[in-house]
Amino acid sequence: MTYLNHITEAIGNTPLVKLNKVTEGIKGTVLAKVEYANPGNSVKDRMAIKMVEDAEKAGLLKPGGTIIEGTSGNTGMGLALAAIAKGYKCIFTLADKQSKEKIDVLRAMGAEVVVCPTNVAPDHPDSYYSVAKRLNEEIPNSFYPNQYDNTSNTAAHYETTGPEIWDQTNGTITHWAAGVGTGGTISGTSKYLKEQNSNIVTVGIDTYGSVFKKYKETGEFDENEIYAYATEGIGEDILPKNVNFDTIDTFIKVTDKDGAVMTRRLAREEGLFVGWSSGSAVYGALEYAKEHLKEGDVMVVLLPDHGTRYLGKIYNDEWMRQQGYID
């Protein structure tokens, strides 16, 4: 018989799919790494299981413990799968801008969810960062993975995502593009790929309202860059330790609208029913590709999660009209 001992063993080995219609006029080949094929429907499954297993080895997570994490939803789902497999409880804090679907699915997986305000500073006591830290301090036998600064996040992608992409492209990849949030996905993957071929160009996709692009270009953390934005899962108003700017060659910023519209195009034109940050990643990658990709180049862009997380937003025509994203 061929079977898995638990659903977490299905994490990884996701497909690489050629983009055809949205890349019209682009030289070279653009391939999508479809991470919704993971069992938790997102790229975050990879680092969630890695953070849990590394914490167990270090004695930070003990039997009967509670995992407490601040998440935009997908990391929570990955941690919930790991917790179910290993017998832990979960409490997740989310900002109130996150989709209802993300909150509902975490509760469906047995997690307790605490919704926190979006428009407060990271160090404000009510921010989802601060609430997660406080709960960790108050609840005995609990573990706070802190995906932003936990280097197991980066290590997961160095060990899995990077080697998969290198093997799937037979070492022909010339450009690697991904959205930047916690930074683990882009940094860990880029580190591995650049060790195989130092000429590979890494393109980070950022959003307006986030600090990453200006920090990369000037070394300045400019608080004037920070303002509210709607896109979920990319951009930050902090500098996570997992964002290794040395492994990222350049940043492209994408508006909420451009990301949302591309997300809808990927579903209708490519059959890829993906989440909002996937649209942002593809839009930004193609903006870079229009100017820089040559015949024979191979760009891989990562699609982080699935469209079911955004049924009430991106895939709701009335919501899209209210935001001014479609006529």
| pLDDT of 213 | 97
DSSP β-bridge partners for residue 206: 253
Strands (E), 167-249: 175-179, 201-207
| pLDDT of 99 | 84
Domains of the chain: 7-42+152-322 (3.40.50.1100), 44-143 (3.40.50.1100)
Low-confidence ranges of the chain (pLDDT < 70): none
Supply the pTM of this predicted model: 0.94
Tell me if residue 50 is catalytic.
no
Cα separation of 201 and 304, whole Å?
20
| pLDDT of 134 | 97
| pLDDT of 97 | 86
Catalytic residue from among 18, 27, 33, 44: 44
Name residue 146's amino acid.
N
What are the DSSP calls for 153-169, one per residue? HHHHIIIIIHHHHHHHT
| pLDDT of 98 | 86
Cα separation of 46 and 49, whole Å?
6
E strand or H helix that includes residue 81: helix 74-86
Helix 44-57 crosses helix 74-86 at what angle (to 10 degrees)?
50
